[in-house]
A and B are shown apart, each in its own frame.
Chain A
């Protein structure tokens, strides 16, 4: 039933009940959920790490509200919202329920704010209209030009990469075979209805396919003979602000939604930094994650309209990611042609729906005959993963493990213990960027000027390679 409890890029044929295609937040959430049942599961990811698609480059807002009432997306958000504290404690993932203020800068926006409040209440979610003074009291850094605000107390921020990795680690420690660097290239369906999936690293035979391939979900569906559905990348750019400034933000600051856009927000992260963004531009090339100077300038201009003390010299980094856009913004349902192909994609709130979406997928699979039963010996939690930076007095932590006293990333105060843990996890970091995704090391104001040589050497050691051939990112090495 269960494979070895470690990630691998094996070349053998696995025979499993469920093959999940895509190691983003949705694919890994489903893998973690199924891993606690009697179903046998395999996760296939094209890249050499999980969290390389949309799940790497989002803001990590665990939203309490995203769209109109009555949709499956809204149901899943509402079901996930109260679960974050328990879930993130269990998976050792950084999370902060900060609450958000949505800010109106003129009367027209104030009017929109009232409409938004109506919709939020209709979803059964808490929201409270604020005067200008109340808004500034909730978040003192908000401009005094604001005319009204909306308090959304249930919003939170999560580390979306750490969440994805944690889902994958839980799945792998419960025996899910996590096959990285395994792009699916063909899917054949036998007469008995079993699927034979060809990857770059061997084949997998399965009863059910969960298509969690994000922007590539349309391609997977076509390979399997399923519906013809179009996905395209919708790029969002972000600028990251220094912790020394962003640490003083208390709340997420949203701009007022308009009829056409949700606007540019200021989002504190679980690392203490803050994100300005996102933009939304449809294009055709999924690999295009380029940022550009004009957009960055626009981000700063828009964000400083909300929080006037934001200036461009506070920026420590830019990045972009692509949402998996499609004519159905969320698609969590069986294919109309292939009854054992289950689509599992979400354009803009995949992080936020992930806990309840995983439950939903399990129910759908069971209703189609999977018969997955809870497994009593399955782990529901990961070992605690303390971070040095969270301790006012880390003496006990360091006494228990001396490596916590050895600071590798000086800007973000990431210790050798945290880095070695990431390099030795069930789904381990295998590149310098993989270490960053799991620990935040090199994510600070010097962007690794001081520490990334050291992290390269540690990563080379763990991955059995040398300083030139060690991976800097999931796709490329330090040397060429």
Chain B
């Protein structure tokens, strides 16, 4: 029986795997067919971590998706096959995603043109000028890249958040926000509490796209390993540190701590 499974082959997953492999068997699963996660497979440090993990005997299942964790088995599917992988413990290192409209309390209409930052990044990478005037909601780490690419492609950037140096027009974070537009986004309404009283004042920002680029939240997509109370699961999805080396080291530390706790239980 495999002792542990790590879901996610980004810096955090590789950090876990490297630390665990010194003491227990490890299988790493990732839905993307290469290692690296959002850091990218060609990042030099990623290559080093992955090579080292392989030397330590870590087994990689890349291009396969973890779906369900129950009774100490992870259901994994890939093109052409599915497997039930047994394990004593699951480390979930599935990375981060931008806060959704509901996470942000963004109400109003639901027209085309409201796009998660991760998706905007992909689409802008295709090099297509998508929008004329983009409201970038929030100042998570995606905001800067999306703003930069969209501007290169000719869009005007409206930044909404605390630190939006990358924008052409700035607005502080409102008390609430809502979308307007029947078929396509036409505007974003920002409501601020008036310092004087309970009344709010509103600003309407005209735009043809809204990119959700606020604080990161942990991705959770393996059933049975979603809530933090899940049994026999350790979540390794810190917001900070955000650099590759920092995340790798943090994950190693988490895995070491888990190994130590095992030793304490095993000791008489």
**A: which residues have CB within 8 A of B?**
239-240, 242-245, 287, 289-293, 296, 315-319, 388-389, 392-395, 398-399, 402-407, 410-411, 413, 415, 444-450, 452-453, 456, 466-468, 471-473, 475-480
Contact = CB atoms under 8 A, between A and B. Distances in A.
Contacts of B24: none
Contact of A292 (B67, B107, B130): B107
Contacts of B176: 293
A317 B129 contact: no
A450 B216 CA distance: 13
A315 B102 contact: yes
A313 to B, nearest CB: 9
Given A398-B80, A475-B111, A410 B221 contact: yes
A468 B111 contact: no
A354 to B, nearest CB: 25
A393 to B, nearest CB: 7
Given A316-B102, A480-B132, A448 B113 contact: no
Contacts of B112: 471-473, 475-478
B172 interface: no
A318 B116 CA distance: 16
A480 B77 contact: no
B111 A473 contact: yes
B196 interface: no
Contact of A447 (B78, B100, B122): B100
A318 B212 CA distance: 16
Given A410-B31, A480-B132, A445 B108 contact: no
Contact of A411 (B130, B183, B221): B221
B130 A290 contact: no
Nearest to A433: B112
A402 B82 CA distance: 10
A405 B107 contact: no
Given A293-B105, A410-B65, 17 more contacts: A244-B223, A292-B107, A315-B102, A316-B102, A318-B107, A393-B75, A393-B84, A394-B82, A410-B219, A411-B220, A446-B219, A446-B221, A449-B97, A450-B118, A468-B126, A479-B129, A480-B209
Interface of B: 31, 65, 67, 75, 77-82, 84, 97-98, 100-102, 105, 107-113, 115-119, 122-123, 126, 128-132, 176, 178, 180-184, 208-209, 212, 219-221, 223, 226-227
Contacts of A456: 119, 123
A449 B119 contact: yes
A444 B247 CA distance: 27
Among B31, B100, B109, B128, chain A packs the most CB atoms within 10 A around the CB of: B100
B182 A393 contact: no
A449 to B, nearest CB: 4
B98 A449 contact: yes
B178 A478 contact: no
29 contacts: A244-B227, A290-B107, A290-B109, A290-B180, A292-B107, A392-B75, A393-B84, A404-B77, A405-B81, A405-B82, A410-B219, A411-B221, A415-B77, A445-B221, A447-B100, A447-B101, A449-B98, A449-B100, A449-B117, A450-B219, A450-B221, A453-B119, A467-B126, A468-B128, A471-B112, A472-B112, A473-B183, A478-B113, A479-B130
Contacts of A243: 223, 226
B107 A291 contact: yes
A415 B110 CA distance: 25
Nearest to B84: A393
Contact of A287 (B113, B182, B220): B182
Contact of B79 (A403, A453, A476): A403
Contacts of A318: 101-102, 107
B77 to A, nearest CB: 4
Contact of A289 (B102, B110, B128): B110
Nearest to B117: A449
A407 B67 contact: yes
B120 to A, nearest CB: 9
Contacts of B183: 473, 475-476
A395 B76 CA distance: 10
A407 B31 contact: yes
Contact of A405 (B80, B118, B131, B219): B80
